[in-house]
Every structure is written in C-alpha cells, then in structure tokens.
Structure 1
Amino acid sequence: MTQPSGPEHERYDTDLRAVISERGQLIGLAYRLLGSLAEAEDAVQETYARWYTMSRPQRDAIESPGAWLTTVATRVCLDLLGSARARRERYVGKWIPEPLPERTAWVGAPAGTAADPADRVTMDESVGMAFLVALESMTPAQRVALILHDVFRYSFAEIAEITGRTAPACRQLASSARRRVRALRPAEAPAARQAVLVRDFRQAWEARDIDALVGLLDPDATFTADGGGLARAALHPIEGGPRIARYLATLAGRTPANLIILERTVNGRPGLMAQWEGATVAVFAFDVVDDRIRSVWAVRNPDKLRSWRGGGGQEAV
C-alpha cells in the first residue's frame, strides 16, 4: 500500500495517533461495562478491526473518530452483555468481576515495554468492586446509560444516538440504575480507614483469631468466592460475620505454610493478594461501610488473575 507523503502524510500520522490515543478510554469503558479485562480487550480489538476495514475515504468522512469508536465499542459491549446472562448461568459457582491491580511499579519501565491494558483503566469509584458488582444486577441498557452519562459525561442526546433509544428513555435508564446503585452500596468508608481494617483483617486471619475477625466484619457481611471451576472455591456465598470468621479460620488452617498474604490496591481500594511459590493464587476485594467490612470478594479463577502475574504492582505495605 502506498503511504501518503508531504502534508497528507503528516495528516495521516496525526489522524492515526488520534485514533490510537482513544484506546485507553475504550478499554476503560469496555471494562466497566463488561467487568472483564479480557472481554474488554476483545471488544476494543473488534472496534478497531471495524475501523480499519473501512476504506480511507470512509474514515476521512467521519467527523469525530473518537465518537465513532466509542459508539461501536458500546454496541459491541451491548451485544456481549446480551449473551453474558446465558454464559453466567453455565459458570461454575459465583461470577465476580475481574480484579485490577494498580501497577505503580511499572512507572519508568524500559522503553518498548508493552503496557498492560489494566494500566489504561483509570482507578476511580466507578471501578470499585462494590460498584461493579452492583452493575451486575442491572440490564445492559441501564448499565450503558449510567456509565456513559455518569462516568464518561456523555449527554443523553449522545447516548440516545449510540444506543438507538430516545434521550428521555436514556435519562430514565440512568436514573433507575443510579437508584439501584445507591440501594446496593451505601457510602463507603474513607480509603485510609479501609486500609487499616483490611490490614487488621489480614493479621486476624493469619492468626486464626475468630473473635477479632467477627469484630471486623459486619454481622450481615457476605463472603463470595470465584473459582470458575478452575480453582477450589466456595460455590455459594457465605453470609454472616461469625460464619465467615469460622470459615476463614478453617481455611487458614488448611493453607500451605509458604502461602503469603500481601496488602495490595485492588480496583483502586485497599485489598489483599495471596501468593504461593511466587504465583498469585487469589485476590481479595473489600467493601467497608460504617467501620465494618460488609463484603469480601475472593477471586481465585486463574483466568481472572492474568494482570497479577507480576505480583500486582507495589511492594507489600
């Protein structure tokens, strides 16, 4: 293929950089909608494939490539969400969104080092595990309307054009989704307090101190594990602080002596990571409300721990 030259070549390079620069936002959008980094990567790959299958004149005719890419990525995600329910019904045990590390250790990586897609997801409250779990209770249309409007600041007119619905309908979808989020997740504790509670939780767990664990857990707390049929995990949520404490104490007694628990940032919040013989075997996310741990999510499915193979970023606290 003949490459353009002169001013046309410069415009070609500028347009190419502009299109590629959208990848970070597209990954962030797709991850929030799908709860899976692997599926988000696939959705964005499909979006770019559709862009590059168009002829050059067709691409040049698009006034805003970024808006076009967002529209296509959203529609690809909607298609995936439409089939996700059936896939989740076949899933072994409970399905939990894929946890993301905060890889501060990658800053200043050698030139040419490929950035992990997880690094392109901005860590804000919209990627907190509690928020992502709340999204799972919504319809695909509610999820899209809420994420596009509340997170990415698209107008309802723009969302209507993307989804093929009316602006008032999109407004109603976002409003109902917002109410659901508020009902499912009250205001969480400040990050500093969360860090203290998670550290106390780790210490009590390692000591198999059931009383200490009960004191840290909300009486109505829930522990949910995700092994995906590929790793041993509780198939059903464990409910109630005392039951969770006894379960964790029993679990600690069965773990190998060389299993280590490290404090890590999980989806922008204080969390834990378990390593055995240098490999990450579990990641734990927490929801802290009213100075108690209300939810614990334990991800053991190895397919969801790809981003943690390097140790999950920062050194142990």
Structure 2
Amino acid sequence: MKPDMGSNHAFVVWGSCVLWVTSVFAIAWSLLLFFCVGDILLMTGTDLVNAFVLLSGIIMLPTNISILCFVANSKKVDYKAKVVCCPLWLSIVWIIIINVAAVILCIVKIISCQELTTRYLTDSMQHYRSVPKYKHFMDDLQWSLKCCGLYSYKDWFLHDWYDKIRDYEWDPSLDKDNSLNKRSPSVTDSVPLSCCKSGSCISNYLTELGTHSINTTGCGPLLHRIVMISMSAHLVMFLLIVVIEIIILKLIMTKERQPENEKKGKHRNSDVRHIMSVKGNFDASSGSCQLNPEDSDELEQPILEDENTN
C-alpha cells in the first residue's frame, strides 16, 4: 500500500526524514569526538556544546521515527501519540527547548572565543610541567596542528615548562647537581618535543642551532579558527533543527482540526438528506398522481362516442 501523502503535509514527511538523518549523525559524531578528542573538548570548553548535540540527537531519534511510522502506515500523524514516555508534541517541545539553549551557548562561545582560547593555551603552558592533563593537551594539540606555542615558538621561552633533570641531563657521567648549575641558564631557548616536525629533532638551544626541525607557527590563531568554525557549524545546525521542529509541530497540530470540520460538514449534509428524502418524496408524489381505474374508464367512453358521431 502506498503512503497516503495527502493526509500528512509534505513538509512533515521530508522534515522528519532530514531530522532523523541529523539525529543519527549527531549521536555518532558527538560520541566519536568524546572518545577521540575528549581532552581537547574539555580544555577548549566545547565539551558542553558537544553534550547538547548528543542530547538533542538522542531525543530526536525516537521522535522522528514515530512520525515516519505514521507516514509508512498511511496514517495521519497524531500529536498525542506516545513517544517512549511522553506525547509526541511534548517531545518536539523538549527538542526545541534544548536546541534553543544550545544556540545561546554557541553564541556565547563565539563572542568569547578569542579570549577563551588564549586563556586555555596560556594556562596549559604555565602548568605544562606540573599538571599532566595540561601537558597531554598541549602535546596533542601541537602534534595534530603542527604548531608550537601560543603565537610563536618563542612563547615557550617565557615559561618554566621543562624538567631540567629529565630533559636536559646530557652527560650521565657528570654529577646531576653540577650539570644543573652549568646548563640551567642556557636551556631557556627550548621547546617541547611535540613542536618537532618529525619524531625527533633539535628542540633546545634553538638560538644557536636554529629552528629548522621544529614548527614555528603558533597554536593560538589555528585553535581560534577551528573553534569558531565548529561553533558556527553547530549554531547553524541548532537553528535549522529549531525552525524545522516548530513548523512540524504547527502543521501536525493544525491539521488535526481539519478532519473534524469535514466530518461535521458531512453530518450536516446527511441530516438534510434524511429530512428531505428524494426517493420517499418521489414515491409519495407519484402515488398521489396515479389515476383511479374506474375514473379512467368513465373518461374514455365520452371520447369514443364523439368519435363515432363524427
């Protein structure tokens, strides 16, 4: 049986299909980001936006599947139908509320993106040596983006980020204390190994040995651009979901009243037909016009006598 497209507005059908695909993509994409780059999301403050993407996708999936089931069964979408534990219209309202909150959050992130990225990177560089999560964040960021420092590799020269004993004890035969006293003033022009272009490189004494083997571009502008693009894409997605859900909710709520009005009109027409039955009135009128057989014979005799005399 073909779906009765006339009972449901075309926008309801196609909008539900788009939202269903969007919900599947949102769930898969948000989970992938959480498992693969969860630390970067947490350090850049975009983890909350990703959580809204996941929550919106989880709620949209059963809601739009319910709408598509009505369409597949050639039935009109019932906004009072149960979706998991609440009516269909309430599920759509919750989707709208969640995405509106996500839109506000994205706008706040876009406005304060420059300040936030600068602060995150500065804090990570300051606590690189003492806090493991900041070290992992900076190393992953510099390896993946092929960058070094905030605006330049020289930003590392301003922070006491290195472990002097672990990273710069060049000669094991020398006493550690003596080597620290000799070399500590000269290791300020150094960068972490994650700034290297390849697996190993010259990352210290850069003033003397040069920067040929490290990335010199800062991570700040690159991270700011990525966060801006990500937040803008999420903002557009959340706005589209809100607009589509509002239109679908309006259509399924208003369409519900039309069949009731049509039924009332049909009942009125049928009542008129019952009151003025054409067949019954026709039978009554035809019966009243029927001539009496005796009267017809009496009328025929004078007519026959006139014809004989003529």
TM-score (norm 2): 0.28
Task: Identify, as 1 or 2, the structure richer in strand.
Answer: 1
Task: Identify, as 1 or 2, the structure richer in helix.
Answer: 2
| Structure showing greater Rg | 2
TM-score (norm 1): 0.27
